[in-house]
Amino acid sequence: MKQLTLSGTSSRSDILIGRGLLGQAASHILEVFSPSRVHIVADSNVAPLYLDKLASQFGLPVSSTVIPAGEAYKRLTTVETIYRDLLEAGMTRKDLVIALGGGVTGDITGFAAATFLRGVSLCQVPTTLLAQVDSSVGGKTGVDLPEGKNLVGAFYQPRLVLIDPDVLDTLPAQTFIDGMAEVIKAGYIANPDILSMVSAPDYRANIENIIYECVKMKRDVVAQDERDTGLRMILNFGHTVGHAAEKLGNYTALTHGQAVAIGMVAAMQISNQLGTDTDLLPGLIDILQKVGLPTELTNDREEIFHALLSDKKKMGATVNFILVRTPGKAEIVPIAAETLHPLILNL
């Protein structure tokens, strides 16, 4: 088992990574927390697989909420459902909420934990690759509005994150592939060794080490910028155009991983338009296609531009783009709307 600690933030997070951790989750959880009750939130895909396996390990009252699976349900109405279940279960501030599932479940549950009774303890148990390498770590929680993705949320650190690579074996192939977008992102913005590991023909056999390197990178970034006002913005590589494409597809036409992959290609194309000594676009397209991710933006470019203007990363009249001109080094580049418009039309 590997262990990382995120400190220097509003609350310390311990992150454990190891095969078989889900079957021993309660023992690790009860070393950190002392709840009277536990409430587990899982979605309709994960609950049949792992909810009972986790709940049965605790020798104290356990309640649960099963939410519908999918980004379309990442709404305030779903959070209200969780609130009501927490009230019915008699949860107090000293009790524990566990997010068991992928990124959507983790974001919704984290926001519910951050705001119920003004904050109850939170443990993340991510069950998708995307959640394991990215969304479960760092304390970003939130839900979507019709106007855009993650426009309502809070920074709320989980005290404990348990990552079990074995659960990835039950993922549908496409769900695993989606997570690879965040893995490849980590390689381009901070650690090219990750790209080398992914380029190996049998990279899935090395997935535990890949997860560790991705989480370590994110831990280091978040420790320096918890509130996403500076360095942490580099984690948005691919997300600016990606979120716009997700919005235009009503969060159903593209998965998050597919959108990020397309967004990374768009960001690299913008980098080339602005001028760069090295064209990294062919290599990016190649590695994305090898793992099964899309690389072509099919949305109307004018619609993409207008969707970008409602993104939370917009600062006044500029949009912050994350550009990579050297593998392992990301740049935060504010682009004025009038400059950005022709760049988007030329994608």
Which sequence spans correspond to the domains of the chain?
A: 2-171, 176-346
Say what the pLDDT of residue 315 is: 60
Q: Is 106 annotated as a binding residue?
A: yes
Say what the pLDDT of residue 285 is: 98
If DSSP codes are grouped into helix, strand and coil, which group holds residue 275? coil
Backbone CA torsion sign across 91, 72, 214, 201: positive
Q: How many CB atoms lie within 10 A of CB 333?
A: 16
Domain 2-171 and domain 176-346, same fold? Reply is no
- Mean pLDDT (whole number) for 321-332: 94
Look at residue 310 and tell me whether its pLDDT is greater than 80: no
16-30, 77-91, 125-139, 317-331: least confident range = 317-331
Chain-wide mean pLDDT for the chain? 95
DSSP assignment of 92-128: -TTSEEEEEESHHHHHHHHHHHHHGGG--EEEEEE-S
Look at residue 195 and tell me whether its pLDDT is greater than 80: yes
Q: Is 140 annotated as a binding residue?
A: yes
| Residue 54, φ and ψ in degrees, nearest 5 | -80, -45
Strand partners, 323: 331
Q: Is 239 annotated as a binding residue?
A: yes
Q: Is 182 annotated as a binding residue?
A: yes
Query: Under CATH, which number does the domain 2-171 receive?
Result: 3.40.50.1970
Residue 156, H or E segment? none
Q: Is 41 annotated as a binding residue?
A: no
Residue 44 near residue 67, CB atoms below 8 Å: yes
Six token digits for residue 13: 């997070």
Q: Residue 309 — pLDDT band, cuts 50, 70, 90? A: confident
What pLDDT digit, counting tens, does each position of 214-259 carry? 999 999 999 999 998 899 999 999 999 999 999 999 888 999 999 9
Residue 128 near residue 101, CB atoms below 8 Å: yes
Q: Is 314 annotated as a binding residue?
A: no
Q: Tell me what percent of the residues of the chain surpass a pLDDT of 70.
A: 98
Q: Is 104 annotated as a binding residue?
A: yes
Backbone CA torsion sign across 258, 248, 73, 228: positive
Half-sphere exposure of 229 (CA within 13 A, CB side): 3
Q: Residue 276 — pLDDT band, cuts 50, 70, 90? A: confident
Residue 176 near residue 129, CB atoms below 8 Å: yes
Q: Is 105 annotated as a binding residue?
A: yes
Is 176-346 assigned to CATH 1.20.1090.10? yes
Residue 11 near residue 157, CB atoms below 8 Å: yes
Look at residue 125 and tell me whether its pLDDT is greater than 90: yes
> Does the predicted model carry a pTM greater than 0.85?
yes
Q: Is 256 annotated as a binding residue?
A: yes
- Non-local CB neighbours of 80 within 8 Å, separated by 6+ positions: none
